[in-house]
Structure 1
Amino acid sequence: MSVVPFSALACPLDGDVLVKAGGSWQCVQGHSFDVARQGYINLLPVQKKRSRDPGDSKDMVVARQRFLSAGYYAPVANAINAALLKGVAADKEISVLDAGCGEGYYLRQLAGALGASPSLQVLGLDISKWAIQSAARQHEAIRWVVGSNANLPVVSGSLDRVLCMFGFPVYSEFARVLREDGLLVQLDPGTAHLRELREIIYPSLKPVRDNKDTIPAGFESVSTETIHYQAEIQSAAMVQDLLTMTPHLYRANAEGRARAAQLTSLSVTIEVTLKTLRKTTRTDIES
């Protein structure tokens, strides 16, 4: 069992293979990307950014790290690990991308739970430089990259697994980078997810989109499961971290945020849908 950095990276400007040369990664066209002192690589060119500082803010990343480290999402991590490793022989090496990895909690949980499971080549990618900086400081054996799901800096057909959690799936890119019969493990919020918090901060609740039966083009369904449990948050600080790490902080009005700030504890529903999809060459699947 081992965890090693994924190395089949591609230039985000022209798609050519990147090769490590000293403290940078270079393609044959002469494009060069330096390895930051924290160990990560920024493969999100300025011309491909939609804002100066895209993705989660530094405050969101710090709050998420504290909250997830407290174990409230451990059952979710365990289910993800099982889905990613199901059916893989212990003597096989597989490659895994977390597309939208945040500060790396779920990849660290995967790496720590391997036991006699297969060896992994691992890549964590996020559009937020703050998230990747945090991730790189916490686990050096994983390759961490600032990049976009819309233009994955990954060689085509080089991955066995792609994980996408609460993120922005780009199915055409996922299909491109997966090997034949590779798996996409996707996690989406269920209709009751964080309901109690949402009821406090919003005047009324909008229905959560239920897309668990949607199968994107280029994939076929393998399995779907729902993870549902109650998390008991016993401190005001952790309640605030939960709010800060989600987009709800910025969607709520001032009155809603003030109500949340008065909470000293919260019993909140965690409900997520975990879908496993297999890459297929079929063209008759509904998108």
Structure 2
Amino acid sequence: MRCENNHSFDVARSGYVNLLLSSARRSKQPGDNSAMITSRRRFLEGGYYQPISDEINRQFSAAAIESSCIMDAGCGEGYYLARLSDQLPVSQNTRCYGMDISKPAVVAAARRYRQINWLVGSCARPPFLNDSLDAILCIFSRACFEPFAQALKPSGRLIMVTPASSHLKELRGLIYENVIDHRRDKFIDAAAEYFDLIEEKRVTHTITLPDSRAILDLLAMTPFFWRITLERKSHVASLDALTVQLDVDVRAFVPCN
């Protein structure tokens, strides 16, 4: 596989393509590491975040998108895109692409979900022609609104999942002295130059994590993992159970005219 600049990219044996040039990396291994990906997969397969996936799939179905090409930007180990792919009619012949900057995440996704195309790359430079995508998913990931708007067809949709004010407030209370509610409108403000908001659904759900492994798995898949002190991490690891609030916004945007 070659790009317009004559860079060559090989398809790995497990089925993914690494499009991340060494010059574009900020570290030797950007993104989540293998241990974090293992924690993420174990947690998601426990069904704790299925209400989020269900709402993404509902919005996608309700929009009646004439889907032929979908990208999950920041796909992780592939949970959300795989569940969406499973509900799409075979007759649509949809091409699904999952992209993440983490090579371990993409390797894990490619090994599990072979019906999907997996790419290691940066969402700031998605490898798609302008006006070529029918939908982009951006789930707890960095939103690169300008390149997303360029890659989407005029009729395309961006479906975003972002934390609402009380998301994981109980876990955050174990990590920080002062817990500040997430600002729900900041993502709408950031998108406004390139996208119009057309649908918004707040998903709330109470989750009880039954043991320390599930609690630590959740911690490992959040930004809090990088900020928690060793003392507080030891305290979190000592808990036998934890009840937390899932509180997220699932929003659909269309490119501005």
TM range (shorter): over 0.9
TM-score norm. by structure 1 comes to 0.84
Q: 1:242 aligns with which of 207, 218, 229?
A: 218
Give yes or no for contact 1:187–1:274 (8 Å, CA) kept in 2. Answer: yes
SS in 2 for 1:33: coil
Flag the structure with higher helix content. 2
Change (3 A) 1:111 1:61: same
Please state how far the C-alpha of 1:93 moved relative to its aligned partner.
4.1
Partner residue of 2:8?
32
Percent of pairs identical after alignment?
A: 36
Give yes or no for contact 2:67–2:134 (8 Å, CA) kept in 1. Answer: no
Q: CA RMSD in A?
A: 1.6
Larger radius of gyration: 1
Q: Deviations 1:153-199 (Å, cap 9, x if unpaired)?
A: 11211101011011111101001100012111111011111111111
Q: 1:57 aligns with which of 33, 36, 41?
A: 33
Q: How many residue pairs align between the two structures? A: 255
Give yes or no for contact 1:97–1:123 (8 Å, CA) kept in 2. Answer: yes
In structure 2, how many angstroms separate the alpha carbons of the residues matched to 1:27 and 1:171?
A: 23
Give yes or no for contact 2:216–2:237 (8 Å, CA) kept in 1. Answer: yes
Give yes or no for contact 1:88–1:118 (8 Å, CA) kept in 2. Answer: no
TM-score norm. by structure 2 comes to 0.94
Partner residue of 1:276?
252
Map 1:1-287 → 2, pairs under 5 A: 25-27=1-3, 29-88=5-64, 92-114=66-88, 118-210=92-184, 211=186, 213-214=188-189, 215-281=191-257
Change (3 A) 1:245 1:257: same
In structure 2, how many angstroms separate the alpha carbons of the residues matched to 1:153 and 1:52?
A: 21
SS in 2 for 1:38: coil
Give yes or no for contact 1:165–1:188 (8 Å, CA) kept in 2. Answer: yes
In structure 2, how many angstroms separate the alpha carbons of the residues matched to 1:141 and 1:175?
A: 26
In structure 2, how many angstroms separate the alpha carbons of the residues matched to 1:195 and 1:218?
A: 31
Q: Deviations 1:113-167 (Å, cap 9, x if unpaired)?
A: 3357844210000000010000000111111000001111112111010110111
Moved more, 163-172 or 78-87: 78-87
Please state how far the C-alpha of 1:29 moved relative to its aligned partner.
4.5
Deviating beyond 6 angstroms after TM superposition, the runs of 4 or more aligned structure 1 residues are none
Please state how far the C-alpha of 1:256 moved relative to its aligned partner.
1.4
Give yes or no for contact 2:166–2:181 (8 Å, CA) kept in 1. Answer: no
In structure 2, how many angstroms separate the alpha carbons of the residues matched to 1:250 and 1:30?
A: 37
In structure 2, how many angstroms separate the alpha carbons of the residues matched to 1:81 and 1:45?
A: 33
Give ranges in structure 1 of 5+ residues lacking alignment. Answer: 1-24, 282-287
Give ranges in structure 2 of 5+ residues lacking alignment. Answer: none
